[in-house]
Amino acid sequence: MNVHEFTPPQADAVADSHLQALQRWARERPTRVALRHRRLGVWKAWRWIDVQREVERLADGLSQQGFVAGARLALSGAYEPSLVLLALAARRLNGHTLLIPANSRGEDLQRQLRLAHPGFAFVQRREQVAQWLQTGLHGQWPLRLFTPQADAVLTGQWQVQPLSALFVGAAPAAQRLGWAQVTRDEVLWVDEGSEWREGLTHLLDRWLERGEGLAFPETAESASRDRREIAPTALLLSAERVQALADEIEARLPPAGSWQRRLCDWVQQDPQRGLRRWLKTRVRQLLGFQRLQRIDVPSAPVASGTARPAWLRDYLERAA
């Protein structure tokens, strides 16, 4: 018996119900925007009908590369359209999707890959590909590894290919959408990655159940700026990201003990009245919260109100 036979498999991130919901939204609201992602400084948009067509194109591409029912697709990197579409395409072919944290290195990465034993993989960044190749596992089983930032390379039994090799057929026409539509749409903001393994399932559940738009930053470093531009109506966060967001807010506020900080604390005491309401509105705009209605933290709800950062408390309570 080998390790793969007695190690329980990672739960599949994608369900048939997700594909059914995608078909529903592509049928009922084909021209509404489903995905937004900033790439090279420009916001790209996919309508629901575009998402369905891209999933079909990727499924065709995977099939041509040898992906069959029961095959395993490993995903590693930030949650963004390419990763989400690939997960849905793998499910369309009755395959399985699993997540490898992008920050995995060395022996830890080697152990995870041995347990997962994927035949296909999407690895987002060039430096991650190098880490995978350095595990020394490329002689142990065949793997087709796709990445946006690489030329085709064969290392042992592992073949690195550009992601473009999976896109079969004509791409949907690029959408030019004004900001007026963005301000009317409900938008769920996600700034997470494969480190939050259950996050992909939560993302798909909320996005496809509600049929609201989904938006991603260009990079983790640009997330604050990109969030201000989109002004989402909801955030989907892991417990760790809630703390990171609280730290970001703390860094933007005046130093503790200063008169400016006391003014911010005064605003929080009764933010619905007069000057306090105006000041809170200004802070919300600075954070990209001017349209925010809720913050979903599905994996680990914050236990007590005292632990909740003041500028997030109302949104967290609303989602509870």
Indicate if 136 and 194 belong to the same structural domain: no
Instruction: Classify residue 87: in a domain, yes or no.
Output: yes
Do 76 and 131 belong to one domain? yes
- The CATH number of residue 189's host domain is 3.40.50
315/207 same-domain check: yes
Residues linked to residue 160 through DSSP beta bridges, in sequence order: 145, 153
The reply to whether 121 and 204 lie within a common domain is: no
The pLDDT tens digits for 87-107 are 999 999 999 999 999 999 999
Do 162 and 198 fall within a single domain? no
Answer whether residue 7 shows pLDDT above 80: no
Q: What is the CATH number of the domain that holds 147?
A: 3.40.50.980
Whether 151 and 18 map to the same domain: the answer is: yes
Residue 276 pLDDT: 53
Which one is predicted more confidently, 169 or 119? 119
Residue 281 lies in a domain: yes
- The pLDDT tens digits for 52-68 are 999 999 999 999 999 99
The number of domains in the chain is: 2
Least confident of 115-124, 226-235, 274-283: 274-283
Do 195 and 52 belong to one domain?
no
Answer with the one of 114, 134, 166 that is the final residue of a domain.
Answer: 166
Residue 207 resides in a domain: yes
Residues 139 and 210 in one domain: no
Q: Do 139 and 236 share a structural domain?
A: no
Q: Is residue 123 part of a domain?
A: yes
Q: Is residue 171 part of a domain?
A: no
Considering the domain boundaries, does residue 276 fall inside one? yes
pLDDT value at position 189? 95
pLDDT for 305: 43
Tell me, yes or no, whether 173 lies in a domain.
no
Range of the domain at 88: 3-37+47-166
Q: What is the pLDDT of residue 287?
A: 75
Per-residue buried b or exposed e for 263-296, using 16+ beta carbons within 10 Å of the residue's own CB: ebeebeeebeeeebeebbeebbeebbbebbebbb
Would you say residue 7 lies in a domain? Answer: yes
**185 & 137 share domain:** no
The least confident of 6-20, 54-68, 181-195 is: 6-20
Residue at which a domain ends, from 110, 135, 166: 166
User: If pLDDT is split at 50, 70 and 90, which confidence band does 1 have?
Assistant: very low
> Rounded to whole angstroms, how far apart are CA atoms 72 and 50?
25
Can you give the pTM of this predicted structure? Answer: 0.86
Using one digit for the tens of pLDDT, what is the confidence trace for 93-146?
Answer: 999 999 999 999 999 999 999 999 999 999 999 899 999 999 999 999 999 999
Residues 214 and 308 in one domain: yes
Average pLDDT value for residue range 155-182: 77
Predicted local distance difference test score (pLDDT) of residue 17: 96
Are 149 and 193 contained in the same domain?
no
